Structure formats: structure tokens, C-alpha cells
Amino acid sequence: MNRPAPPIASLPGTAQADGFPHLALPVPIPLPPMEALRRDRLPDGEGWQFEPKWDGFRCLVYRSGAAVALQSKAGQPLARYFPELVSLFQSLTPDSFVLDGEIVILREGRLSFDDLLLRIHPAASRVAKLAVQSPATYVAFDLLHDPLGPLLDRPLVERRRRLEAFMRSLPPSPSLQLSPKSEDRRVAQQWFEDFGPFGLDGVMAKKRGEPYRAGQRDAMIKVKHVKSADCVVAGFRYAAGKAARRSRQAGTRPVGSLLLGLYDRAGLLHFVGFTSSFSGGQRVELAAVVEPLIGGPGFTGRAPGGPSRWSAREHHEWEPLEPRLVCEVQYDYFSQGRFRHGTKFLRWRPDKAPTQCGFDQVERQPIGTGDELFGK
């Protein structure tokens, strides 16, 4: 039996926040978006709606009269970073609605998270220039309020029906898209296999009979791409912090992270990310493995960045190595020539030559223009 959604007033983070306009809507701002549990496979059984998992900025869009607000997953205003979307939503005929969806930017037929990150810039002139050079697209996948009234307590199957009707009432725009959905698990599996090269992050499974559970994870599941690659260890950073200082006082210096590289077709070794999934004891043992190789060329192509004003110098200095060590790491996403997040160390690969560690392991080229993502 489906449980009712909790009262919105009882949820954390729903008070009126600085930076948002006053909106005469029955949906509070900020509102914690509905979240998902991570699983390794698509759920079995009936009653599920499947959608692609978009790799962008989660965003709730509020429209009340002439006022438009964009709210991030963390409950912060996003409107100043995406002025083209604000203009788009202000131009729509319905003047009272709340959407849940994702802001994405497509570059050469695939999603580009790096272009999204460039938008978070303090200079309005820079943001305006980027809005013209690489305009954003809003992908809607839920409707929380429309001119007929609030929908938070309505089941997903009804919210989706109202969302589709809402989108049909709007003039077509490449900047506003409806996320595909299916109740067919085979279709969802095909999305999972085919859409990765376009930059999508996996597949979502949502319970069709559930209301919008703001801030909760019990009505939605995400299945993300998880893959492995063999990488060259071409450098490392020593650990920082109190534990590292205590180790040095005891005569040891633990390793903080291994810096990973892949070879391109020209034979250049490029920095692609790091792995730091080690226990305290393993960090000390790693020092004995990597320190004998200090002094090598390290990366002959793109190299790690140096110290920055955001972090301590000790944390950013790194030691180049002779490129002899190969390890296998697990990762979830590779984009713009690097692993998006830190990777998980799996094992050493002494059986593999460093020169065999190329970009062909991680770069799959999309076949298409990107329109396939929206069911076109």
C-alpha cells in the first residue's frame, strides 16, 4: 500500500531562502528534490517507470506570473547562471507551474558537464557570453504544479500524464525537452547500453504509484554505469593532514593518491585522474612501491595541475614517476579526457605493458547527433 507523502512543511530546507523571488505558488521554495537509491541492476516486478539518467544540474523551475526561479539540488538559486533558460520560461503562455528536471549542455552530439561547470562564474558578462556560445537545454521529467493545481501528492503516473499534456501545449523548442520514459524493462536496458557514449549516466527507475517524495529516496532507484580501465601510475601525491604529519614523525610518509595516465595514439601519456581508495596501512605500503620510481618523466602530455589558492600547497604538489606501474581502477564516468570522479583501485596489473593502456578503453564515440536522447 502506498504511503502518503510527508507534509512539505515538515521537510528540512523548505523555508523561504535569500536569493529567490517571492512566488505565489503552493509549492515551497527551496524544496528538496526527490532522490534515488543506487542499485546495481534494474528492479524486477511491475509498477516501474524507466527514464534515462541525465548527467547535468538537477533543477526545479518555478514560474509565477512574470517571476521565474531556478533551484539547484542543494536548494540554491541557479537563475543568474542560465539567463537563456529564464527567458525561455518567461516566454511560455502558462504562467503558473513547477517543473523538476535537469539542465544539460550538448556539445558535438553528447552531454558536456564541463560546459555546465563553466557557467558557475561570478561575472555576468562571462555567463551571458557562454549562454550564446553553448546554450543550455532543460530536460523535464516531472511536474509538481500546473495551472490546474498542485501535484505533489498525486502518483507519478498522473504527474507524468499531466507533464506530457503540459509539454504538448508549448511551442517546440530545442532548449526545452521532455525526458523519454518507458514501462518496458527491455527499452530501459537498451538505453543503458546505447546512451553511454552520448554522456548519459545510466537509467532511473521510478515507482509509478508513488507521490512526489521530496527529499526522500524510497520511490526511485538509479542504476549507473560502472566500468574499469587499466591505467599507468605516472605520479603520486603524498598524504596531507594530521595523520600524515604523525606518520612522518614516525619516519614514514604515506601516499595520498596515485595519479593515473593513458596513452594517446601519438604515444603521449596524459593525466586522466587519480585513485585514493586506500586504508592507512596501505598508504604507507604504497610509498615503498612508488618511491623507487621517483624522478621519471611522469606525464609527457597533459599533466596534473599545481597548487591553487583553494587548497594547501602540500596537497597539490606531486611526484613524477617512471611509467612502469599499471593498475586497474573502477570508474563511473569518463568525460573530456578524464575520470569525472575519483576512481576505486582494484588491483595491480604486472601482466600488462604500460603502453597498452590507451584511451580506447574509455572513449566510445556516439553514433548520431544527440537527438536520439529525446526519442527523435
| 206 carries an active-site annotation | no
**CA-to-CA dists, residue 375 to 48, 262, 284, angstroms:** 19, 34, 51
How would you write the chain as a 3-class SS string?
Answer: CCCCCCCHHHCCCCCCCCCCCCCCCCCCCCCCCCCCEECCCCCCCCCEEEEEECCCEEEEEEEECCEEEEEECCCCECHHHCHHHHHHHHCCCCCEEEEEEEEECEECCEECHHHHHHHCCCCHHHHHHHHHHCCCEEEEEEEEEECCEECCCCCHHHHHHHHHHHHHCCCCECCEEECCCECCHHHHHHHHHHCHHHCCCEEEEEECCCCCCCCCCCCEEEEECCEEEEEEEEEEEECCCHHHHHHHHCCCCCEEEEEEEEECCCCCEEEEEEECCCCHHHHHHHHHHHHHHECCCCCCCCCCCCCCCCCCHHHHCCEEEEEEEEEEEEECCEECCEECCCEEEEEECCCCCHHHCEHHHCCCCCCCCCHHHHCC
67-72 vs 149-150, strand pairing mode: unpaired
Residues with active-site annotation:
53
